[in-house]
Structure formats: structure tokens, C-alpha cells
């Protein structure tokens, strides 16, 4: 058999981009962003309708009534079956979707079947979120955007190269922009987390994808800020020591969060006695129990960062909420269903910010109206500590809350958190997840029966 040299996909893509016309690149990028924004805008609209209906039903019904219990059990069972069957139909949709997209773009996983992955990811994530699992929509939106990008490449008669990095990265940027309303963070994510080579054609492609997706979700569909805090005052010059301890505390928390999640996933990989259906059904059953005992840590009816701005809870209660949120987020994600970790990380970061704000308010070091500012610093810090992308985390949080005037403080907290997590030798969460996916793939290939060689 002749030897075929294999070059990394990004190197091949750089050569292809140099020979590609600028107008073609711009048209592909605009189409990728607009379609991704439309698909993810539909997803966000459906989830808003479903979540509003669930909250209204929970608030207006006697939860212990037999009819309400039967409806709750039937709904959770239906959502668990939907998520489980779709995961069995298309295993690539499991988890966040960001590690899978990065591995495909790097040529370490085979190309995905974009149409099947798109609709399976859409429905399965909607089922997991509607049930109340503590998972996020943002990682799945990035994967859905990448599938749209692959579809654009396929329909552009680039069928043999539909999974080119340009389509996957550009679609992922559009997906993150549409999910968060954050085009700048989407750009940083492409080059900071996905490690895309910074070339002029790729910069043009990703920026146009981000801007067109932002235009679709914010201008056309009218989605506003994700975290529209009532008051978001800046820090006085004498308070600029605060971002450093907040970032360091979030760096420690991020290291614990990553270690707990990865160890739980590794334990489940070794637990051969634990069947897959049980892993999927367990968090859905937990949602039914938590709805009566501890709904604050759930995904759909739980506490939000906007509510934490006004709540004045004791430090012990905030610590319990933070521990419960992290624990349930790890259990939800470890089930393998379609769902991300970014929004749970941001909510846990806001709880960490509220936990740090309580004693600072009592000591007179921060004003009560600066609580939301500490929530923002906590979100940026925990995101940066877990994902290890401080620029992306800082830009993301500022765009989600409109707090660009907090840029110096947010950047200080983000870099302090990333530095602390690195000092603790904590691996970035997506690097650990990519390593686990590749290990699982190697084990499956080793366990597969050998194929007969042709004479």
C-alpha cells in the first residue's frame, strides 16, 4: 500500500484559504452566521416558552396532588427516553459538543453527519434543559453552529471537505454568539480555546460569522442581554484590590469543580456494572426529587444570577447552594446526555460572587448596590479557572451583562483565576474531556474484532 502523508487539517485549510476568493469566503461566512443564528434563536425561543410554562405550572399547582405527580413523572420519563434514545441513535451528541467539534476540526475524529447531529442535538438538549438538569445550552449551541457550518460547506459543493476547519470554527463562533449574544467572546473562543491559527482569511470568516449571527439573534429576533442586572456600578479606585482575592478564590473553586467532574466521569467509565440507561435516568429522577426538596439548584426553575442580585441570604445558605449546584451539575453532565457546562459554571460563579459579597458588605468594604459587580467578577473568575480562557471569560461576561465599564476589574479577576488554577496543576476542563473521548475511542477500537486481511 502506498504511503500517504497526513498533514494537520489547519495546515491544509490555510493552503485552501489562500486560494479561495474573498467574496466566496464572505458569502460562506454570512450564510453560516445567519442560519446558525436562526436555528439557535428558534432553540432559545422554544426553551423560553417551555420554561415559562413549567414555572407557571409549578407555581399554580399543588405539587403533592396525584394528578400533578403523575404528570411530573410522565414528563420526566418522556424527556429521559427522548434524551436516551437520541444519544443511542447519534452518540456524538453526548455531553457539551465543544470537545467533539475541536477534535473533528483537528482531524482526530472522523467527520460528522451534520444533518443528523443537528436535529438530534437540538431535540436532546431541549429535553434535558426542560427536565431541569443542571446543564447548559451554550456548548450544544456551539455544536449546532458547527453542524450548520458543515452543512454550508456541503451545500457549497465542498462535499468532500464539508468538515473543513473553516466551517466548523466559523459555525462554532456563530453558535456561541447566538447562544450568549456575545460576538467578541465568540471570536476569542475560536482562537483562545479552539487554538485556530490566526490568519487573515480565518479572521475574516469568523468575524463575519459572529457578526451575522449577532445580527440575527439581537436585531432580527430581538433577544436582549442574558444578564440584565438592575444596577451594575463600577469599583472605586480604593476597591481595585478586590478582583485579585475573588479571582484566586474562583481559581481554587474551578480546580475543585474540574477535578470533581472528571473523577466522576472516570469512575463511571470504570463502573462496568452501571448500565447506560441507569446513568441517563438517574439525574432525571433527581430532578423529580429536587423539585420538592431543593428546586433552587435545578436548571429550569432554580435560582438565577438576577435573583441573587437582590437576595440577602446568610453565608452558610449561600455556601450550601454553591456546593449543591456544583454537585448536581457534575451529576447531570456525567450522565452523558446532551448538555453543556458553561451556563452551570456561570451560575455557580455568580453564587461564589454572592458568597464573597456577603461578608464584604457586612464589613463595609462594598456597598449593597455593588453585589451585582461581585457576581460578575465571580462568573468571569470561575469560567476562566475551569475553561482556562481568561480573555474569552472576561469578554463573555461583559457582553452578557453589558458591563464593559467593568473591563479592568473583570480582566484582573479572570487572569487571577486562571493563574491560580494553573498553579494548582488543574487541567482545563475541555482538555480533560477531549482526552477522555480519545481514550474511549481507542478502547472501542482495541475491543473491536479484527478484520480479515485481503490476500
How far is the first Cα of the chain from the last one, in angstroms, to the nearest whole number? 13
Which residues are CB-contacts of 242 (< 8 A; sequence separation ≥ 6)? 235, 360, 365, 366, 374, 377, 409
72 pLDDT higher than 80:
yes
**Residue bearing cell 481514550:** 439
Give the least confident one: 40-49, 142-151, 299-308: 299-308
**CATH numbers and ranges of domains, the chain:** 25-220 (1.10.3080.10), 237-438 (1.10.3080.10)
- Percentage of residues of the chain with pLDDT beyond 90: 65
236 pLDDT higher than 60:
yes
Express each pLDDT in 402-428 by its tens digit: 999 999 999 999 999 999 999 999 999
Helix (H, G, I), strand (E, B) or coil at 132: coil
**DSSP bridge pairs for 90:** none
Residue 191: phi and psi, rounded to 5, are: -100, -20
Q: Are 216 and 183 in contact (CB under 8 A)?
A: no
Give the least confident one: 65-69, 231-235, 297-301: 65-69
Query: Dihedral, CA atoms, 110, 115, 116, 121, nearest 10 degrees?
Result: 100
Identify the DSSP state of 161.
G
6 pLDDT higher than 60:
no
Express each pLDDT in 118-163 by its tens digit: 999 999 999 999 999 999 888 899 999 999 999 998 887 655 455 6
Higher-confidence residue of 131 and 56: namely 131
Express each pLDDT in 304-354 by its tens digit: 899 998 888 899 999 999 999 999 999 999 998 999 999 999 999 999 999
CA distances from 308 to 122, 263, 326 (A): 29, 30, 16
- Percentage of residues of the chain with pLDDT beyond 70: 91
**DSSP bridge pairs for 338:** 95
For all residues of the chain together, what is the average pLDDT? 88
Alpha-carbon gap, residue 166 to 56, rounded angstroms: 43
For residue 124, count CB atoms less than 10 angstroms from its CB and return exposed for 0-12, middle for 13-18, buried for 19 or more. buried
**DSSP bridge pairs for 136:** 340
Q: What's the pLDDT at 111?
A: 87
Amino acid at each position: 500500500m502506498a504511503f500517504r502523508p497526513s498533514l494537520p487539517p489547519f495546515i491544509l485549510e490555510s493552503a485552501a484559504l489562500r486560494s479561495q476568493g474573498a467574496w466566496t469566503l464572505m458569502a460562506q461566512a454570512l450564510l453560516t452566521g445567519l442560519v446558525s443564528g436562526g436555528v439557535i434563536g428558534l432553540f432559545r425561543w422554544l426553551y423560553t416558552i417551555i420554561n415559562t410554562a413549567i414555572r407557571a405550572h409549578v407555581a399554580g399547582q399543588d405539587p403533592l396532588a396525584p394528578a400533578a405527580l403523575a404528570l411530573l413523572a410522565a414528563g420526566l420519563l418522556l424527556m429521559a427516553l427522548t434524551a436516551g434514545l437520541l444519544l443511542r441513535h447519534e452518540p456524538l451528541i453526548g455531553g457539551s459538543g465543544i470537545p467533539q467539534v475541536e477534535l473533528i476540526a483537528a482531524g482526530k475524529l472522523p467527520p460528522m453527519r451534520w444533518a443528523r447531529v443537528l436535529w438530534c442535538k437540538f431535540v436532546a438538549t431541549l429535553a434535558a434543559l426542560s427536565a431541569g438538569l443542571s446543564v447548559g445550552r451554550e456548548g450544544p449551541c456551539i455544536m449546532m453552529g458547527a453542524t450548520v457550518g458543515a452543512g454550508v460547506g456541503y451545500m457549497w459543493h465542498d462535499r468532500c471537505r464539508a468538515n473543513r476547519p473553516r466551517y466548523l470554527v466559523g459555525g462554532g463562533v456563530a453558535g456561541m454568539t447566538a447562544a450568549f449574544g456575545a460576538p467578541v467572546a465568540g471570536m476569542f473562543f475560536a482562537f483562545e480555546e479552539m487554538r485556530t491559527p490566526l490568519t487573515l482569511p480565518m479572521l475574516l470568516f469568523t468575524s463575519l460569522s459572529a457578526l451575522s449571527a449577532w445580527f440575527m439573534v439581537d436585531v432580527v429576533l430581538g433577544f436582549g442581554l442574558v444578564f440584565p442586572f438592575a444596577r451594575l456600578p463600577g469599583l472605586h479606585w480604593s476597591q481595585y484590590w478586590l478582583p485579585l482575592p475573588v479571582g484566586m478564590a474562583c481559581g481554587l473553586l474551578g480546580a475543585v469543580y474540574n477535578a470533581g467532574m472528571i473523577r466522576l466521569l472516570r469512575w463511571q467509565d470504570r463502573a462496568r456494572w452501571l448500565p447506560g440507561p441507569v446513568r441517563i435516568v438517574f439525574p432525571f429522577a433527581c430532578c423529580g426529587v429536587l423539585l420538592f426538596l431543593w428546586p433552587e439548584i435545578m436548571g429550569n426553575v432554580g435560582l438565577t444570577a438576577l435573583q441573587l442580585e437582590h437576595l440577602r441570604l446568610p453565608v452558610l445558605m449561600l455556601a450550601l447552594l454553591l456546593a449543591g449546584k456544583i454537585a448536581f451539575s457534575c451529576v447531570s453532565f456525567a450522565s452523558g446526555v446532551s448538555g453543556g457546562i458553561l451556563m452551570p459554571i456561570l451560575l455557580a460563579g455568580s453564587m461564589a460572587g454572592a458568597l464573597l459579597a456577603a461578608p464584604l458588605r457586612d464589613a463595609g468594604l462594598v456597598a449593597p448596590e455593588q453585589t451585582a459587580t461581585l457576581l460578575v467578577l465571580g462568573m468571569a473568575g470561575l469560567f476562566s479557572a475551569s475553561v482556562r480562557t481568561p480573555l474569552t471569560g472576561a469578554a463573555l461576561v461583559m457582553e452578557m451583562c453589558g458591563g464593559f465599564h467593568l473591563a479592568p476589574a473583570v480582566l484582573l479577576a479572570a487572569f487571577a483565576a486562571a493563574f491560580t488554577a494553573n498553579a494548582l496543576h488543574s487541567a482545563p476542563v475541555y482538555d480533560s474531556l477531549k482526552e477522555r473521548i480519545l481514550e474511549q475511542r481507542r478502547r472501542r477500537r482495541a475491543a473491536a474484532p479484527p478484520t480479515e486481511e485481503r490476500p
